[in-house]
Amino acid sequence: MGVKSLAPYVRSTHSLRHMMLDVILALCVLMIIPVVETGPRLAVTAACTVAVCVLCEIVFSLIARTPIGVNDLSCVVTGLVITLLMPVNVPQWLPMLAAGFAILVAKAPFGGTGRAPFNPAAAGMAFVTVCFPGQCFQALPLEQFPWWGDCQGNPQATAAALLQQGMRPEPGGVGRLWNLAAGPAGQTALLVLLAAGIYLVIRRTAPWDGAACCLAGAALAAFLFPRAVGSRWESVCFELFAGSLMFCAIFLVGEPSTSPHTRLGRCLYGLGVGALTILLRHVGPYEEGVCFAVLLANPFTPVLDRFAWRIRGGRARNTEGGEAA
């Protein structure tokens, strides 16, 4: 099928629902290790956050008298992504507030899935980051947390926070491949996260090129402008494994409705998000900036697609994975 518009495009509700089911499965797999390590709190928070997303979709549709669009399950993905972008111990109202903003402000007013100019989950996370920065990033040592209510303990500096202070994170970058560390719940054991990404690529649910270029852009920026004490290559490992960069590369940069549809466009988009993330970590007030980088790159999606189509002589075609030649 030829590409007829430059707006974010989804193939059909049927195929979109199957894609969302794949993403939901991958996100649920990422929750297994944190739930085993810290108890059912993460699962309870995820269920409540998803419920807020679904309820906001329904309420907005009833008020605006538009078709209720929860059947495509994109609101479920939004709720799970927001939950996994925060530490397990955050106040449980915080991801719910982010979910309400994501649906009621960043998604539904623009017409729903495929029409929102900004990634809803990134927008929701950016909103609560600006409003409640101390609570969004405050991580406690991993232990069995209560399934509901406040968590007590002394905050632990995350790898992203240590890098912001110019210090060397522990465990080392390679050690994060199999260890669970304090920080965003989605940045679980990185081998599990990598397996989830490979699953989405094999299922043709998410293209690999945008995520790979995002990590490449971040790695290049981290090599040129290191923050960690040690060699430049160690700085690259620390930057890639710290915070939610790798999680966002897989689940936000590869998200089809707000990212380019051409391969060249996705590569440029990913490179930009990766480099912007490291820049924001250097100069931004927050320890993590990948969601802001995604939001800054989102408006350039149609521009990058136009550029790619002109490079290719104006001819484009969609494949099963949303790729334009």
How does residue 310 score in pLDDT terms, banded at 50, 70 and 90?
A: confident
105-132 tens-digit pLDDT: 999 898 877 788 999 999 999 999 999 9
19-52 tens-digit pLDDT: 899 999 999 999 998 898 889 999 999 999 999 9
The HSE-up count of residue 216 (CA atoms within 13 Å, CB side) is 12
187-224 tens-digit pLDDT: 877 888 889 999 999 998 888 999 999 999 999 999 99
In angstroms, rounded to a whole number, what is the distance separating the alpha carbons of residues 39 and 140? 14
257-272 tens-digit pLDDT: 888 988 999 999 999 9
How does residue 178 score in pLDDT terms, banded at 50, 70 and 90?
A: low
